[in-house]
Amino acid sequence: MEPGLPLLTVSLASSFSAFALFVAKKEELGEIFLYVSTSSAFAGLLLLINYFVTDTFSIWYVYANSNAEMPLLYKISAAWAGKEGSLLLWVVFNLLVTSFYINWGKKDEKKAKVAAIMTLFTSYLTANILLFSNPFVALPYAPPNGAGLNPLLRTTEMVFHPPVVFLAYSLSALLFSVTLAKSYGEKTVARLAWFFLTLGIVIGGWWAYRTLEWGGFWGWDPVENASLLPWLTLTAYFHLTRGREYFAYLTFSLVLFATLVTRSGIISSVHSFGGEASDYSYVIPILVSLTPLISKVRQLSLSSLCNQNLPVIFLSAAVVVFLGTVAGVSVTVEREYYLITFLPVFALIAFLVALKIRKISMPTTLLHLGVILLFIGATSVWLFEDVKTIKITQNSTGDFSLLDLRISEDAEKYILTAFIQTPDGLISPEVYAYKVAGNQRVSSVDIIPELFWDNYYSIKDLDLENGTITLEYYRVPLINAVWIGSAFMVLGVLFRFSGKSF
């Protein structure tokens, strides 16, 4: 028998046993079962990575997401590139953060409640893996090679992006559990969750800008929007003096909503997995996670909330993004909707942050300065980006001239490199034609940065027979403000970990 399935079965049985024992107030025994579950799930993840590294194409998930010619680093990242492996990664992170939390400081009944909530949620995810998304399904034969990983995922950013995002999701679940159990360390957990949510969004934006050939870092895609929603509500959480627990609950509910959008394919997205009927099972934990929020909604003082302007504004931003995302189920929501609704709210946030910037500590000043720079950069890109299509031949004269076309190859792909003289300097964008993955062709962009804008070039089309290249050129204004602002935000919260407030 393939050993991955027994490992996951043991992990499920142990995590559910841990839940039952924590509820029964047999904390020491529950803790043992938690560690057994953690060890089994982690061993399963290591086994899956080993299958990728050793080219075990008899495992369907390995066959579908790897091939023998892929570099080692991408083989490892392919373990969590698909729906099944990423869910296993989430289970492992859930169990790890739970184990770390109960060993942080003294152990008491509140921590046992936290562990009970986390192990119950993890049991649900593990059962989902075993029933619907098993990454260890074996083929009846061993193919000589795999179908290959999606070329768009063969980047350094995609090595780190899924682990960062799923660690953020696990920390959001932990924040929900700590808040519900009224245990301690809530603010530290919230800071960690916010840090990794932010880092995940930044890495995703950087990947989109460098990989997707459209000169942007944020396209208002439903999956992108869904990842932004918990960030907005968790940011509001830190600016509240009362009612924080509601935003802790809402943040986790929106994490589950993002999971539903990504995995079910209910809304058309370039980032979604497509989805099957079983992927709608995430509706159940969404409804359960909303229970404590709904049960206490009568206790929420709306007047108190409305007196705290920044949380209301962040919640307004989340509402307009949520409505635009959900509307995508039945209609196509254009970018203009978000520019009309979200951008004014973003402007108001930046304005209020600027007013407060002198009244706060240096780490928080750095974080808020990052928000202002992000607003300036994002607004410039969304409103003032210029795009042109340029057709060039080897005999053309003028501002653009095609100097040379070279074709090379490595073990996994053919590489066409175009050397083009432009008014901004010499560029050498490339087109990769992969020998597997359905002979998929992708382009790599070439960027000539300047102080206040990027000159962004990608190959839109090519005609080798006639030696013709069609370039797409983007003048991307103040894009550096996006990256510097993002870096300030990440650094600000890192420095803030040693402080007493966010």
| pLDDT, tens digit (0-9, with 9 covering 90-100), for 111-161 | 999 999 999 999 999 999 999 999 999 999 999 999 989 888 999 999 999
Query: Looking at the domain assignment, is residue 164 inside a domain?
Result: no
Q: What is the pTM of this model?
A: 0.94
**Three-state DSSP state, 199:** helix
Digit-coded pLDDT (tens) for 214-227: 889 999 999 999 99
Name, in order, each residue with C-beta under 8 angstroms of 303's C-beta and a sequence gap of 6 or more.
Answer: none
CA angle 191, 196, 202 (to 5 degrees): 125
pLDDT at 330: 87
Cα–Cα dist 372/273, whole Å: 34
> Do 115 and 70 fall within a single domain?
yes
Query: Looking at the domain assignment, is residue 404 inside a domain?
Result: yes
> Do 231 and 84 fall within a single domain?
no
Query: Looking at the domain assignment, is residue 165 inside a domain?
Result: no
Q: How far is CA 207 from each of CA 145, 153, 210, 272, rounded to the nearest angstrom?
A: 28, 9, 5, 16
* Structure tokens belonging to residue 232: 């907005």
- Exposed e or buried b per residue across 376-405, where buried means at least 16 C-beta atoms within 10 angstroms of its C-beta: bbbbbbbeebeeeebebeeeeeeebebeeb
* Arithmetic mean of pLDDT, 312-327: 94
Distance of CA 411 to the CA centre of its chain: 30
> Do 128 and 17 fall within a single domain?
yes
**Three-state DSSP state, 456:** strand
Give the domain extent around 264: 174-359
- Exposed e or buried b per residue across 176-185, where buried means at least 16 C-beta atoms within 10 angstroms of its C-beta: bbbbbbebbb
CA atoms 27, 29, 31, 34: torsion sign = negative
Cα–Cα dist 373/488, whole Å: 9
> Do 333 and 400 fall within a single domain?
no
How many structural domains does the chain have? Answer: 3
CA atoms 7, 10, 16, 21: torsion sign = negative
> Do 259 and 128 fall within a single domain?
no
> Does residue 502 register a pLDDT over 50?
no
Q: How confident is the prediction for the chain on average, in pLDDT?
A: 91
> Do 293 and 355 fall within a single domain?
yes
- Exposed e or buried b per residue across 22-32, where buried means at least 16 C-beta atoms within 10 angstroms of its C-beta: bbeeebeebbe
> Do 227 and 320 fall within a single domain?
yes
Query: Looking at the domain assignment, is residue 129 inside a domain?
Result: yes
Which of 340, 359, 378 terminates a domain? The answer is 359
> Do 2 and 133 fall within a single domain?
yes
> Do 403 and 466 fall within a single domain?
yes
**Three-state DSSP state, 322:** helix
> Do 34 and 77 fall within a single domain?
yes
> Do 32 and 106 fall within a single domain?
yes
> Does residue 313 register a pLDDT over 60?
yes
Query: Looking at the domain assignment, is residue 231 inside a domain?
Result: yes
> Does residue 324 register a pLDDT over 70?
yes
Digit-coded pLDDT (tens) for 57-114: 999 999 999 999 999 999 999 999 999 999 999 999 999 999 999 999 889 999 999 9
> Does residue 500 register a pLDDT over 50?
no
Query: Looking at the domain assignment, is residue 366 inside a domain?
Result: no
> Do 178 and 290 fall within a single domain?
yes
Query: Looking at the domain assignment, is residue 160 inside a domain?
Result: no
Query: Looking at the domain assignment, is residue 493 inside a domain?
Result: no
Cα–Cα dist 308/289, whole Å: 25
Digit-coded pLDDT (tens) for 410-468: 888 899 999 999 999 999 999 998 887 566 788 889 999 999 999 999 999 888 778 78
